Amino acid sequence: MIRLAIHGGAGVIDREQFGGDREQRYREALRDITTATHDRLRNGASALDAVELAVRLLEDCPYFNAGHGAVLNSDGVAEMDAAVMDGRERRCGAVAAMKTTRYPVSLARAVMEQTEHVMLAGTGADRFGASVGLEQVDADYFITDDRRRQLTAAAREGRISLDHDEKYGTVGAVARDADGHLAAATSTGGMTNKLPGRVGDTPVIGSGTWADNATCAVSGTGHGEYFMRSAMAYDIHARMAYTGDDLDVAASAALKTVASMGGSGGVIAIAADGTVALPFNSPGMYRGWVDASGEVRIGIYQDDG
Ligand code: ASP
């Protein structure tokens, strides 16, 4: 059975401040992207193609912290991280601190499929993207006025902030296709006002992104340093593989470890049997998924969807 879940970041999404038209626009974007990807899966797309498609659509959408609309580092530059993983043989590709390739997730996929490596960083990653024909854009293409304002505020207050504090977010997708294969992809601009060169959990395989047909596909969002310190995505896989935990139990336990160190965020995950889990320990997580009856569902707060 086909399964799909996407996220657009988890964090402090306050109903009072956020509600109304703006909230509606986010819900519509999540619904459109979930529906378009689900249609593709129903027409025979592989899990890998589906997660790449969903993340590309999210990267194009300026509401979310990935691709166009990514947050800015302390130099005012969008430096992005992304990863993709194929659950069939645990093949994976990742890029870190890249700046000019229009679709970071496709660059990660190209690393997986067209190099002997798992991760490329910085200018080397973009140069490789250009060499295999991936669209290159001026660094300004990624920058929106909202992100400039966000950076100015963070710099004034001397803080490095999770994008979610400003109600935007990192993006990701997990899918199970009709053949039972799993895949995961995640893409982000990281944290506002981060040090140039900072790399978060997103491209670190086993922290922000993971897929293994035997257990689960996972994409995380939250304070990346804590997700790295707890090997969050791999922790979910390991609990399922070694103790036989089901996905719900494993995902909640892994997130508890993140929380016990002081980290907040959430994950979207799909198990080999098609179970979907979407736990988060922050007030909100933008999410869309397809439920057991094939309906597209959207949620933002703890109590909706
Ligand atoms: N996990 C991302 C990072 O730390 C941020 C996010 O999820 O919004 O780079």
Model confidence pLDDT, tens digit, residues 60-69 = 999 999 999 9
* DSSP reduced 3-state for 301: strand
Q: For residue 152, what pLDDT is reported?
A: 86
How would residue 167 be classed by pLDDT, with cut points 50, 70 and 90?
very low
**Alpha carbon of residue 184 to chain centroid:** 9
**What is the number of residues in the chain?**
305
CA distances from 106 to 55, 92, 110, 114, 212 (A): 9, 12, 6, 11, 20
Share of the chain above pLDDT 90, in %: 83
Predicted confidence (pLDDT) per residue in 42-87, tens digit: 999 999 999 999 999 999 999 999 999 999 999 999 999 999 999 9
* DSSP reduced 3-state for 99: coil
* Contact residues for 62 (Cβ-Cβ < 8 A; gap 6+): 68, 69, 144, 146
How would residue 168 be classed by pLDDT, with cut points 50, 70 and 90?
very low
How would residue 31 be classed by pLDDT, with cut points 50, 70 and 90?
very high
Tokens of 150: 């966000």
Q: Is 266 in the pocket of ligand 1 (CB under 6 A)?
A: no
Predicted confidence (pLDDT) per residue in 216-268, tens digit: 999 999 999 999 999 999 999 999 999 999 999 999 999 999 999 999 999 99
pLDDT at 135 over 70: yes
Q: Is 228 in the pocket of ligand 1 (CB under 6 A)?
A: no
How many C-beta neighbours within 10 Å does residue 270 have? 30
Q: For residue 242, what pLDDT is reported?
A: 98
Q: For residue 162, what pLDDT is reported?
A: 61
Sign of CA pseudo-dihedral 293, 32, 133, 120: negative
Phi-psi category of residue 265: left, alpha or beta, with phi > 0 → left and psi -120 to 50 → alpha = left
Residue ranges of E strands in the chain: 3-11, 80-86, 91-98, 119-121, 161-162, 171-176, 182-188, 191-192, 209-211, 216-222, 265-271, 276-277, 284-290, 296-301
Q: For residue 161, what pLDDT is reported?
A: 67
Identify the residue with better confidence: 131 or 169: 131
Rounded CA gap, 35 and 71, in Å?
26
Residue nearest to atom 7 of ligand 1 (CA): 221
pLDDT at 165 over 70: no
Summary mean pLDDT of the chain: 94
- Residue 170 catalytic? yes
How would residue 157 be classed by pLDDT, with cut points 50, 70 and 90?
confident
* 205 Cα: distance to centroid of ligand 1 (angstroms): 14
Phi, psi (deg, nearest 5) at residue 25: -65, -40
How would residue 163 be classed by pLDDT, with cut points 50, 70 and 90?
low
Q: Which of 191, 195, 280 to mutate to test the pocket of ligand 1 (most atoms within 8 A of CB)?
A: 191
Least confident of 10-19, 66-75, 157-166, 293-302: 157-166
Q: Is 79 in the pocket of ligand 1 (CB under 6 A)?
A: no
pLDDT at 289 over 70: yes
Tell which atom from ligand 1 comes closest to the C-alpha of 225: 4
Rounded CA gap, 126 and 113, in Å?
16
Rounded CA gap, 281 and 265, in Å?
6
How would residue 301 be classed by pLDDT, with cut points 50, 70 and 90?
very high
CA distances from 213 to 20, 90, 238 (A): 40, 8, 13
The catalytic position among 34, 37, 100, 170 is 170
Q: Is 201 in the pocket of ligand 1 (CB under 6 A)?
A: yes
pLDDT at 21 over 90: no
Q: Which of 162, 168, 209 to mutate to test the pocket of ligand 1 (most atoms within 8 A of CB)?
A: 162
Residue nearest to atom 5 of ligand 1 (CA): 190
Residues 287, 8 contacting (CB under 8 angstroms): yes
* Contact residues for 120 (Cβ-Cβ < 8 A; gap 6+): 94, 95, 96, 98, 107, 111, 128
Sign of CA pseudo-dihedral 123, 129, 130, 132: positive
Rounded CA gap, 182 and 178, in Å?
10
Query: CA torsion, points 90, 58, 266, 210, in degrees to nearest 10?
Result: 0
